[in-house]
Amino acid sequence: DAIKELGDYVKEKEKLSDVEIFVDKAKLGKSTKKVLCILFQHEDDKITYTKVIPEDYKGASLYLYRRGTSRGVNISPSALITEEIGSTFENKIVNWFKNREDSLSIGIERELEKERDNIKEELVKCYKEIQEDERTNVLLTILLEENGEKKYIGELPAFKEILMQDTLKTYYSRKTIGESKGRGVCYLCGKSGEVFGFVLPSFGFSFSTADKRGFLPDFVQEEHWKEVPICKDCAISLEIGKKFLDENLSYPKRGY
């Protein structure tokens, strides 16, 4: 209840946008100094790889950084380089664009496959040129050039919509379990409506989990929403409150 109330207060006081609510600013913290941007030219519905551009970090909202699962892709095509850079590129960038159905993502995926070796070579070169004391939590992302203007994914409506929709989906969906949502009374606000079952573990409350059937009284993982049912509005407030605590009362942690 206290974290939810904190989230309500922060959201109202800071007038947070949807993007600011959902990005993982705290996981980047003050340790991320450099960013490697894979630049694509977007012209006449054609996507062409151009080069890798190293730059100074400019803020989480521009890159839409939000961590996903440790073994899967992130919510957006931005990732911290915490392993061999080629592996991060393959696992977090190339794999993100697979199975996407919008024309922009399909075009980028084709160019990633076509220029895979060239991009890897350029990434390794640019990474080695970063000063050693600035290689902690280097961020890898993509950049589009349209009509001579470079745009970050945080400036593109299509990617912002993906961030919001895929984040909301984590409140009730797990790839290994399925969906856990239903009609009920929210545990926090007491209002009746649609409630979700995976809200707490979606942003780091590890005491609530449905990964193992033994944690549930009835052993039915899809009905985890009946244990701690939380509505969309309270879920968002909880996430804001949790992030405020992470950003202001926790040491920075490395992400993926």
The pTM is what? 0.83
Q: What is the pLDDT of residues 214-234, one digit of tens each?
A: 666 667 777 878 888 999 999
Note the pLDDT of residue 181. Answer: 94
Model pLDDT, residue 208: 60
b vs e for 96-131, b when ≥16 Cβ sit within 10 Å of the residue's Cβ?
bbeeeeeebbebbbebbeebeeebbebbeebbeeee
Give the residue from 29, 12, 30 showing the smallest Cα distance to 21.
12
Q: Which has more confidence, 252 or 120? A: 120
Report pLDDT digits (tens) over 35-87: 999 999 999 889 999 999 999 999 889 999 998 877 789 999 999 998 889 99
Average pLDDT over residues 100-128: 94
**Could you count the other beta carbons within 10 Å of the beta carbon of residue 147?**
7
Q: How confident is the prediction for the chain on average, in pLDDT? A: 89
Whole-number percent of the chain with pLDDT over 90: 61
- 35 forms beta bridges with 55, 139
Q: Give the integer Cα–Cα distance in Å for 166 and 199.
A: 13
Cα separation, 140 vs 130, in Å, equals 13
The residue type found at 201 is: P
Q: Which amino acid is at 107?
A: G
Is the pLDDT assigned to residue 240 strictly greater than 60?
yes
pLDDT at 209: 66
Q: What is the per-residue pLDDT for 222?
A: 79
Query: Would you place residue 248 in the very low, low, confident or very high pLDDT band (cuts 50, 70, 90)?
Result: confident
- What pLDDT was estimated at residue 251? 59
256 has pLDDT over 60: no
